[in-house]
């Protein structure tokens, strides 16, 4: 440019620029760019708006681990929403978390949806939420069946044990106390875990616990209408005739507690229990398997003698069957007698009487609604027939007593007051007491014996005896000796007299020989007379002439 | 001395005599066919359209998340302003301020000032504060650094993707488009806007 300025003051005319005309449309084309940009922008806005689900508010006690814009809401580990903001509630008692649910999670803004914060938890029933140590806490969600729209929720402080739609059944157990159980405590069936404790709450009147449990399918069908539940927490140590027995469901229940159920053996109704069925939670397995006790009846007894060894809880026994237990032992004062009777309160379980109880109960009309009056009405004739309570010794070593109910045939008549509350059962001294009385009687009799006089008499008798003995020693015995010596001499002469060479013996032998000879002669005579009877008259004939020698010899030897 | 009736081709240095253009006409170099100047109306329309597009994209780029990272269930995402705010905490304050200036304030000023000037120019009027706007447009042009930011995002995505899952958000795409648009706008010679003004006024203003 400067060159031209310098070289020519009046520059030559320059060629004009070439002018090109553009189509009108191509000029307008450029406006497509902002239009496209705007369309994209609007598209994004619409997309955002369309994908925006309901906004709900959840209140928690604390916002620990929650972060606005970051904390997610998850159902089955799928993100269904995001925490939008967290603020304190008006009264500062809790925090309100505002959550943007995604469009497809609109079903979670319904009346029975539940929300809780998933954060690491270390409890006796296990460790949960470990994953959130790294990822940070998130809000867990669970929805139900309801379609009723709800925007404001109260968050659960701990995860629910069962999420909606899990296969299985829910049951309610009625318990006296919860023991060491807690939410999430396991439920065992034959020592495998089949469910868990879901929730528990106290009755409105505070008398019983309602414990909700959930039993997973397929084990839920083992819960039958006759199933029994018991608290399997801790150690069950049993010492009985069979020895020492240790019972636990699992080591974990010793620490953390647990429940167990079973259907008692025997023919039972094994129909599966319905969902939400109610059961009683027993303290232990024995209690669970024992026949049901039913409603107890209260009785009172009045003992005049000491009841050392009778403790609260001692058995009440009727003909060997435990029908109740001692509930209280109190001391009373009888102003008239100036005595200290003991008042024993017992509970009786009528169902433990079995059929007897049923039959007797039928005898009494159920008309009166007053249990006490009914019981009095029932017991009165029995008392008349001799029903008495007795404190008996159950264990001779420890002296433990139990209360025995029995009919005593020779019981003294006692006035029964049917209006007394509670019903008072007459008593009779126990067997041990009677034994004691008898012993006392014996001792008394022994005591009455004139032992001193007897002793004195015995003493003088013994003195006389002594004197007599001395006399025997001094006078009688020497004479006795002399007598014996005499006797000995007599015996010696007797012996001499009967010895072989004694003259007596010789004479005797001679005499006998003479007698022998005489007897022979006599025989010869009788023989002769037998042959010659005439000789008695005629005399002996002259001897015949000798015929032969032998005959002569024979005759000659005989006489 | 000035020769407002002459025009020199930027590419081949040939000198041509200006002639008035009607709407939608372009003046080209007779030798190399390069565009010498356009009808001011067409030029303004094009620039305004681009500026409008840039404005829309700027809003998108700043409103939607630029980058989203996630690791083991934990995730985070941020848009441009959030990242700048995060950077400004503590010792990063200066870096944050610089980033805010180069990535947010300067592009915003560029778009707003240009839009302001162009809207009036299209109506063949001179915008209030025209000279001021034009001066500042010229001054801040080198400080617009959305392309640097875009590069930074790219580097971050590449570097982090080995350790965690990184997703470029809509904001990153918008920033990319914004970078292109701003480059296109900056390429335009805004000096032509001075031309509808009388030479005298222009001279006065330049002094
Ligand atoms: Zn040229």
- Segments making up each domain of chain A, as ranges: 46-154, 168-289, 297-429, 503-557
Q: CA of B194, closest CA in chain A: separation in Å?
A: 20
CA A481 – CA A490 distance, rounded (Å): 14
Q: Look at residue A178 and give its three-state secondary structure.
A: coil
B53 vs A37, A44, A136: nearest CB: A37
Q: For chain A, how many residues are written?
A: 559
Locate A438 and state its tokens. 């008898």
Read off the pLDDT band of B95 (50, 70, 90): confident
| CA separation, residue A378 to residues A113, A301, A341, A350, A412 (Å) | 56, 16, 26, 12, 20
Question: Do B99 and B78 contact (CB within 8 A), yes or no?
Answer: no
Which residue would you say has higher pLDDT here, A180 or B205? Answer: A180
Name residues 130-159 of chain A within 8 A of B (Cβ): 131, 134-136, 138
Tell if the CB–CB gap between B17 and A14 is shorter than 8 Å: yes
- How far does Cα A59 stand from its chain's mean position? 47
Structure-token pair, residue A100: 């943007």
Considering only CB atoms, which chain A residues are within 8 Å of B69?
none
Q: How far is CA A514 from CA A392, A499, A509, A520, A556, in A?
A: 99, 21, 9, 10, 18
Complete DSSP assignment for B52-98: HHHHHHHHHHHHS-SEEEEETTEEEEE-HHHHHHHHTSGGGHHHHHH
A36 to chain B, any CB pair closer than 8 A? The answer is yes
DSSP secondary structure code for residue B188 in this structure? S
Question: Which of B15, B50, B60 has the CB atom closest to A40's CB atom?
Answer: B60
- Test mutation, A6, A12, A16, A17, chain B, max B CBs within 10 A: A17
Cα(B14) to centroid(ligand 1), Å: 6
Q: Distances in Å between the alpha carbon of A98 and those of A61, A117, B82?
A: 14, 14, 21
For B24, the closest of A4, A27, A34 (CB atoms) is A27
Closest chain B residue by Cα to residue A79: B73
Measured between CA atoms, the residue of chain A closest to residue B48 is A31
Ligand 1 center to B61 CA (angstroms): 39
Positions of chain A with pLDDT under 70: 1-12, 22-27, 123-126, 234-256, 292, 365-370, 396, 431-433, 547-559
Per-residue pLDDT reduced to its tens digit, B125-184: 788 888 888 888 888 888 888 888 888 888 988 888 888 888 888 888 898 998 898 888
Contacts of A136 in chain B (CB under 8 A): 74
The Cα A56–Cα A81 span in angstroms is 10
∠ CA A224-A294-A427, rounded to 5°: 150
**Joined tokens for residue A455:** 């002793």
Q: Nearest Cβ partner of B46 from A15, A23, A30?
A: A30
Quote the DSSP letter at residue A201: E
Contacts of B13 in chain A (CB under 8 A): none
Per-residue model confidence (pLDDT) at position A50: 81
Residue B27 shares a structural domain with residue B65 = no
Kindly state whether residues B104 and B34 are assigned to the same domain: no
Same domain, B103 and B145: yes
Q: What residues have CB less than 8 Å from B35, skipping those under 6 apart?
A: B26, B27, B28, B29
Alpha-carbon gap, residue A395 to A374, rounded angstroms:
35
For residues A110 and A148, the answer to whether their CB atoms sit within 8 Å is yes
CB atoms within 10 A of CB A169: 20
Q: What is the largest CA-CA distance in chain B?
A: 71
CB contacts < 8 A, A to B, total 100
Please count the structural domains in chain B: 2
A27/B26 CB distance under 8 A: no
Tokens of B39: 């009808």
Round to whole Å and give the CA distance between B205 and A343. 120
Whether residue B145 sits in one domain with residue B95: yes
Q: Please report residues of A whose CB lies closer than 8 A to that of B76.
A: 70
Say whether A31 and B17 touch across the interface (CB within 8 A). no
Count of other CB atoms within 10 angstroms of residue A501: 7
Q: Determine the 3-state secondary structure of B30 from DSSP.
A: coil
Q: Which residue has the tokens 């001021």?
A: B132
How many CB atoms within 10 Å of residue A44? 15
φ and ψ at residue A16, rounded to 5 degrees: -75, 160
The alpha carbon of residue A17 is apart from the nearest alpha carbon of chain B, in Å, by: 6
- Measured between alpha carbons, how far is A488 from A390 in angstroms, rounded to an integer? 79
Chain B closest-CA separation from residue A294 CA (Å): 56
Angstrom distance (rounded) from CA A183 to CA A195: 11
Q: Which residues of A touch B6 (CB under 8 A)?
A: 1, 14
pLDDT at A486: 92
Claim to verify: residue B56 and residue B125 sit in the same structural domain: yes
Mutate to test the interface with B, among A5, A18, A138 (most CBs of B within 10 A): A18
Residues B153 and B169 in one domain: yes
Q: Is residue A10 less than 8 Å (CB to CB) from chain B?
A: no
* A9 at interface of B, judged by CB pairs closer than 8 A: no
Same domain, B196 and B119: yes
CA distance B107 to B145: 8
* ipTM > 0.90, yes or no: no
Evaluate if residue B201 carries a pLDDT over 60. Answer: no
Q: What range does the domain containing B201 cover?
A: 42-206
Cβ within 8 Å, pair B72-A134: yes
| CB of A24 less than 8 A from some CB of B | yes
Same domain (yes/no): B135, B174: yes
Q: Rounded CA gap, B118 and B131, in Å? A: 13
Measure Cα distances from A216 to A79, A144, A158 in Å. Answer: 26, 18, 20
Q: Assign residue A262 a region: left if phi > 0, alpha if psi is -120 to 50, beta otherwise?
A: beta
DSSP letter at A205 equals T
Kindly state whether A1 is in contact with chain B, defined as any CB-CB distance less than 8 angstroms: yes
What pLDDT, on the 0 to 100 scale, is given for residue B20? 78
CA B130, B134, B136, B137 dihedral sign is positive
Distance CA A394, CA A402 (A): 6
Question: Distance between CA atoms of A119 and A121, rounded to whole angstroms?
Answer: 6
- Cα distances (angstroms) measured from residue A13 to each of B6, B8, B16, B17, B18: 10, 14, 9, 8, 11
Own/partner pairs, A45-52, CB within 8 angstroms, 24+ separation: A50/A103, A51/A102, A51/A103, A52/A100, A52/A102, A52/A103
**How many A from CA of B6 to the centre of ligand 1?**
13
Q: Judge contact between A238 and A190, C-beta under 8 A.
A: no
DSSP A137: -
Q: Distance (Å, rounded) from C-alpha A101 to C-alpha A139?
A: 12
Q: What is the DSSP letter of A422?
A: S
Contact (CB, 8 A) for A198 and A183: yes
**Chain A neighbors of B18, CB-CB under 8 A:** 16-17
**Residue A159 in tokens:** 């995860």
Tokens linked to A116: 């809780």
Tell me the percentage of chain B whose pLDDT exceeds 90: 5
Report CA(B50)–ligand 1 centroid distance (Å): 26
Contact B27 A18 (CB under 8 A): yes
CB distance from A12 to chain B under 8 Å?
no
d(CA A186, CA B176): 58
| Alpha-carbon distances, residue A311 vs A103, A325, A406, A427, B67 (angstroms) | 69, 10, 20, 17, 78
Residue bearing tokens 């001897």? A543
Tokens (6 digits) for A60: 């928690």
Instruction: Tell whether A18 lies on the interface with B, counting CB pairs under 8 A.
Output: yes
Chain B contact probe: residue of A7, A15, A33 with most B CBs at under 10 A: A33
Angle subtended at Cα A406 by Cα A403 and Cα A408, rounded to the nearest 5 degrees: 125
Q: How remote is the CA of residue A17 from the centroid of ligand 1, in Å?
A: 10
Contacts of A44 in chain B (CB under 8 A): 60, 64, 170
pLDDT (0 to 100) of residue B204: 45
* Contact call for B6 and A14, based on CB within 8 A: yes
DSSP A335-392: TTTTB--EEEEEEE-GGGGTHHHHHHHHHS-TT---HHHHHHHHHHHHHHTTEEEEEE
- Which of A8, A12, A27, A42 to mutate to probe the B interface, most B CBs <10 Å? A27
Closest residue in A to B6 (Cα) is: A14
Q: What is the pLDDT of residues B71-85, one digit of tens each?
A: 766 677 888 888 888
DSSP A474-499: IIIHHHHHHHHHHHHHHHHHHHHHTS
Cβ distance A5 to B57 less than 8 Å, yes or no, reads: no
Residue A14 CA, ligand 1 centroid: distance in Å: 14
Q: Are residues B93 and B121 in the same domain?
A: yes
pLDDT at A520: 94
């Amino acid at each position: 440019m400067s060159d031209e300025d310098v070289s020519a003051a009046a520059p030559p005319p320059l060629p004009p620029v070439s002018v090109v005309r553009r189509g009108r449309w191509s000029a307008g084309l450029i406006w497509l760019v902002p239009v496209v940009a705007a369309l994209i922008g609007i598209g994004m806005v619409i997309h955002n708006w369309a994908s925006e689900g309901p906004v709900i508010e959840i209140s928690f006690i604390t916002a620990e681990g929650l972060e606005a814009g970051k904390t997610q809401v998850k159902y089955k580990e799928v993100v269904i929403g995001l925490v939008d903001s967290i603020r304190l509630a008006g009264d500062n008692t809790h925090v309100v978390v505002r959550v943007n649910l995604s469009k497809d999670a609109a079903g979670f803004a319904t009346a029975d949806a539940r929300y809780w914060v998933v954060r690491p938890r270390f409890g006796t029933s296990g460790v949960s939420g470990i994953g959130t140590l790294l990822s940070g806490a998130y809000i867990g969600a669970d929805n139900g069946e309801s379609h009723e729209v709800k925007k404001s929720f109260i968050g659960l402080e701990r995860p629910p044990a069962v999420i909606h739609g899990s296969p299985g059944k829910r049951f309610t157990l009625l318990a006296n106390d919860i023991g060491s159980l807690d939410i999430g405590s396991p439920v065992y069936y034959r020592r495998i875990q089949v469910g868990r404790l879901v929730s528990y709450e106290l009755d409105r009147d505070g008398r019983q616990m309602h414990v909700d449990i959930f039993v997973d399918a397929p084990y839920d069908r083992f819960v039958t209408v006759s199933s029994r539940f018991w608290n399997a927490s801790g150690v069950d140590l049993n010492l009985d005739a069979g020895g020492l027995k240790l019972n636990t469901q699992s080591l974990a229940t010793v620490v953390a507690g647990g429940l167990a159920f079973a259907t008692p053996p025997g023919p039972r109704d094994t129909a599966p229990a319905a969902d939400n069925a109610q059961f009683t939670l027993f303290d232990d397995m024995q209690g669970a398997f024992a026949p049901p006790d039913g409603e107890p009846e209260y009785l009172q007894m009045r003992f005049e003698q000491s009841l050392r060894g009778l403790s609260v809880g001692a058995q009440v026994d009727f003909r060997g069957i435990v029908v109740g237990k001692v509930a209280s032992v109190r001391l009373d004062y009888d102003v008239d007698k100036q005595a200290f009777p003991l008042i024993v309160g017992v509970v009786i379980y009528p169902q433990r009487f079995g059929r007897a109880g049923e039959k007797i109960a039928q005898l009494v009309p159920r008309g009166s609604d007053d249990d006490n009056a009914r019981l009095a009405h029932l017991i009165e004739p029995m008392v008349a027939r001799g029903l008495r309570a007795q404190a008996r010794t159950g264990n001779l070593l420890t002296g433990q007593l139990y209360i025995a109910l029995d009919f005593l045939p020779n019981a003294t008549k006692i006035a029964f007051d049917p209006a007394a509350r509670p019903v008072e059962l007459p008593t009779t001294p126990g067997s041990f007491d009677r034994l004691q009385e008898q012993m006392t009687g014996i001792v008394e009799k022994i005591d009455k014996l004139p032992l001193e006089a007897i002793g004195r008499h015995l003493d003088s008798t013994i003195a006389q005896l002594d004197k007599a003995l001395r006399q025997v020693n001094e006078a009688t015995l020497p004479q006795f000796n002399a007598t014996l010596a005499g006797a000995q001499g007599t015996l010696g002469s007797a012996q001499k007299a009967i010895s072989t060479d004694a003259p007596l013996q010789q004479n005797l032998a001679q005499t006998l020989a003479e007698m022998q000879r005489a007897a022979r002669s006599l025989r010869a005579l009788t023989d002769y007379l037998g042959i010659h009877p005439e000789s008695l008259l005629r005399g002996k004939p002259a001897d015949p002439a000798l015929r032969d020698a032998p005959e002569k010899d024979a005759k000659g030897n005989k006489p | 001395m000035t020769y407002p009736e002459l025009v020199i081709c930027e590419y081949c240095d040939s000198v041509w005599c200006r002639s008035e253009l009607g709407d939608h006409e372009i003046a080209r170099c007779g030798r190399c066919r390069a565009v010498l100047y356009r009808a001011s109306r067409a030029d303004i329309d094009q620039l305004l359209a681009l500026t409008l597009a840039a404005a829309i994209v700027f809003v998108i780029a700043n409103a939607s998340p630029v980058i989203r990272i996630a690791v083991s269930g934990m995730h985070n995402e941020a848009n441009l302003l959030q990242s700048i705010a995060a950077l400004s905490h503590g010792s990063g304050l200066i870096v944050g301020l610089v980033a805010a200036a180069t990535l947010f304030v300067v592009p915003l000023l560029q778009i707003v000032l240009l839009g302001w000037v162009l809207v009036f120019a299209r109506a063949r009027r001179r915008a209030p504060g025209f000279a001021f706007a034009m001066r500042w447009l010229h001054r801040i042009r080198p400080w617009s650094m959305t392309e640097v930011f875009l590069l930074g995002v790219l580097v971050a995505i590449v570097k982090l993707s080995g350790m965690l899952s990184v997703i470029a958000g809509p904001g990153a795409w918008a920033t990319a488009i914004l970078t292109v648009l701003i480059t296109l706008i900056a390429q335009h010679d805004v000096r032509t806007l001075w031309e509808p003004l009388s030479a005298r006024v222009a001279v006065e203003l330049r002094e």
